């Protein structure tokens, strides 16, 4: 799908300049951008030209000090679940997960492992109550197990007598984000979308003499192209290129995340073969936790990574988070190995929650989440020709297919009308300036 050279068929129009003119360019080839391009390619009109622009994953980002643009999808496992404390998030997840198998069939790429999901917490905790209330409102398929039943169902979990489990046995588990992006881009390309492996350095709005407005897009390779509409799905890097020259900066905080990958052998992986994806929460019982055990964590079951090794992955909640404020800080974070104090608490939490394995090695890795004040996505048009789909808040990976659908419907609407059945107010763009009022 790499395509640094623009297609010859596009070298036309743009008032005789020889620069290609697209109807829509999606900038940012991560999960949301790729999903948007896939949906637009399926609903595109006759002779409509679309492209998806974004750099491919570096071969060795820890030693690639020349690069400053990265993606949040450089991983083999992200939790897929429908149950949530927020009804909108639950709805988007359910709708996305429902079409996973169809996308696998369309693309021929497997990315979904239906191993189930468990949320483990104190039975009367606010955490459990909120999930049950929101998930029941959305009519989701889940069970609540008391501690006795949970110990029988999951003998490898450390379940206390006053714990309970929310369990999803079907249409949940984990996704491979690398493979998911491959699947989305394959379908988009099959439907005529051009995939351009490059970084966009700038987007400039141009108005013709007849008052038509379009965008001039400048790539890091020096090439230029024109597009009637642009959709930014650029995540943490939205403010680090000249993408919003006439628009205020989005109110988004860039939050560092550290994950620990714990290598295990084939024997332990077999013992844990029935392990689901797990969310663990003891935030109301912090005084009862042993040293080096976090009050909140998420855990992925054993997954084989590209290096051939099998890892259990564990990530933290708000512990060890830092706010990153510059392109340099974000790039250095992606090139590094996480928070220096995170390894032992993450390992201690994993060993506290999951029983019956022996760590062979541990490796820390990094990611950046984009956090909005509302914990909601920004899917909005900033002008008739420029839209955004940003602000994943750490929960958007599993829901990216439906998020891409919303963005596609929005950006392809000639009238500007909002046609999605969840109100537009849930996705309104918020600027840093307006947030202070």
Question: Within a 10 A sphere around the Cβ of 170, how many other Cβ atoms?
Answer: 12
Check residue 340 and give its pLDDT. 93
86-98 as b/e: b if 16+ CB within 10 A: bbbbbbbbbbbbe
Phi, psi angle pair for 76, to nearest 5°: -110, -10
Check residue 21 and give its pLDDT. 93
Q: Which uninterrupted H or E stretch holds 324?
A: strand 323-324
Cβ-proximal residues to 101 (8 Å cutoff; 6+ apart), any chain:
112
DSSP string, 184-211: HHHHHHHTT-EEE-S-EEEEEEEE-TTS
344-372 as b/e: b if 16+ CB within 10 A: ebbbbbbbbbbeebebeebbbbbbbbbbb
With contact defined as beta carbons under 8 Å apart, do 313 and 368 qualify?
Answer: no
Check residue 9 and give its pLDDT. 44
In CATH, the architecture of 77-174 is: 2-Layer Sandwich (3.30)
Q: How far apart are CA 437 and CA 429, in angstroms?
A: 15
Check residue 6 and give its pLDDT. 43
Check residue 18 and give its pLDDT. 64
Q: Tell me the pLDDT tens digit for each residue of 174-220.
A: 999 999 999 999 999 999 999 999 999 999 998 876 668 899 999 99
Q: How far apart are CA 328 and CA 349, in angstroms?
A: 31
With contact defined as beta carbons under 8 Å apart, do 319 and 341 qualify?
Answer: no
User: What are the boundaries of each domain within the chain?
Assistant: 8-69+178-250+374-435, 77-174, 253-371
**What is the chain's Cα-based Rg?**
22
Q: Where are the alpha helices (DSSP H) in 232-303?
A: 266-271
Q: Is the dihedral of CA 405, 127, 302, 170 positive or negative?
A: negative
The yes/no answer on whether domain 8-69+178-250+374-435 falls in CATH 3.50.50.60 is yes
Check residue 414 and give its pLDDT. 84
Cβ-proximal residues to 337 (8 Å cutoff; 6+ apart), any chain:
62, 363, 364, 365, 366
Distances (CA, A) of 338 to 225, 277, 300, 346: 37, 22, 18, 12
Helix axes of 400-411 and 31-43: crossing angle, nearest 10 degrees: 50
Q: Which uninterrupted H or E stretch holds 213?
A: strand 213-219
Q: How far apart are CA 256 and CA 258, in angstroms?
A: 7
354 DSSP 8-state letter: B
Helix axes of 100-107 and 177-190: crossing angle, nearest 10 degrees: 60
Check residue 437 and give its pLDDT. 35
Alpha-carbon dihedral 327, 378, 74, 68, rounded to 10 degrees? -20
The rounded Cα 282 to chain-centroid distance in angstroms is 25
Check residue 43 and give its pLDDT. 86
From first to last of its 437 residues, the chain has per-residue pLDDT tens of 344 444 444 434 544 556 789 999 999 999 999 999 999 999 867 788 999 999 999 988 888 777 889 988 999 999 999 999 999 999 999 999 999 999 999 999 999 999 999 999 999 899 999 999 999 999 999 999 999 999 999 999 999 999 999 999 989 999 999 999 999 999 999 999 999 999 999 999 988 766 688 999 999 999 999 999 999 999 999 999 999 988 888 999 999 999 999 999 999 999 999 999 999 999 877 777 888 999 999 999 999 999 999 999 999 999 999 999 999 999 999 999 999 999 999 999 999 999 999 999 999 999 999 999 999 999 999 999 999 999 999 999 999 999 999 999 999 998 878 999 999 999 999 998 644 43
Q: How far apart are CA 277 and CA 115, in angstroms?
A: 7
| CATH class entry, domain 253-371 | alpha beta
């Amino acid at each position: 799908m790499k395509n640094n050279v623009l297609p010859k068929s596009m070298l036309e129009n743009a008032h005789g300049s020889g620069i290609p003119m697209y109807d829509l360019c999606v900038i940012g080839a991560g999960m949301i951008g790729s999903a948007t391009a896939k949906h637009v390619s399926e609903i595109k009109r006759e002779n409509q030209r679309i492209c998806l622009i974004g750099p491919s994953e570096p071969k060795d980002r820890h030693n690639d000090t020349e690069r400053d643009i990265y993606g949040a999808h450089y991983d083999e496992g992200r939790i897929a679940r429908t149950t949530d404390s927020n009804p909108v998030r639950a709805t988007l997840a359910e709708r996305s997960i429902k079409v996973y198998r169809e996308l696998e069939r369309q693309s021929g790429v497997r990315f979904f492992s239906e191993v189930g999901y468990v949320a483990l917490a104190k039975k009367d905790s606010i955490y459990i109550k909120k999930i049950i209330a929101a998930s029941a409102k959305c009519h989701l398929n889940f069970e609540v197990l008391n501690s006795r039943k949970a110990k029988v169902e999951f003998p490898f979990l450390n379940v206390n007598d006053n714990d309970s489990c929310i369990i999803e046995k079907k249409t949940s588990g984990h996704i491979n984000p690398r493979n998911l992006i491959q699947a989305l881009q394959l379908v988009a390309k099959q439907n005529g979308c051009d995939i351009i492996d490059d970084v966009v350095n700038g987007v400039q709005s141009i108005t013709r003499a007849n008052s038509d407005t379009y965008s001039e897009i400048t790539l890091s390779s020096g090439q230029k192209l024109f597009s009637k509409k642009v959709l930014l799905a650029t995540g943490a890097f939205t403010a680090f290129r000249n993408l919003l020259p006439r628009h205020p900066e989005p109110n988004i905080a860039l939050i560092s995340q550290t994950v620990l990958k714990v290598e295990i052998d084939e024997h332990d992986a077999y013992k844990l073969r029935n392990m689901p994806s797990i969310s663990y929460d003891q935030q109301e019982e912090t005084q009862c936790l042993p040293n080096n055990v976090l009050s909140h964590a998420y855990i992925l079951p054993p997954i084989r990574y590209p290096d051939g090794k099998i890892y259990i992955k564990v990530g933290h909640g708000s512990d060890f988070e830092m706010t990153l404020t510059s392109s340099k800080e974000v790039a250095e974070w992606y090139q590094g190995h996480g928070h220096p104090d995170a390894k032992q608490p993450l390992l201690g939490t994993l060993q506290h929650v999951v029983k019956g394995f022996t760590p062979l090695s541990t490796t820390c890795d990094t990611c950046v989440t984009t956090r909005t004040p509302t914990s909601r996505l920004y899917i909005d048009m900033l002008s008739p020709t420029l839209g955004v789909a940003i602000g994943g808040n750490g929960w958007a990976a599993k829901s990216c297919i439906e998020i891409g659908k919303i963005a596609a419907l929005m950006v392809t609407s000639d009238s500007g009308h909002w046609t999605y059945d969840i109100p537009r107010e849930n996705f309104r763009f918020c600027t840093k300036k307006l947030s202070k009022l």
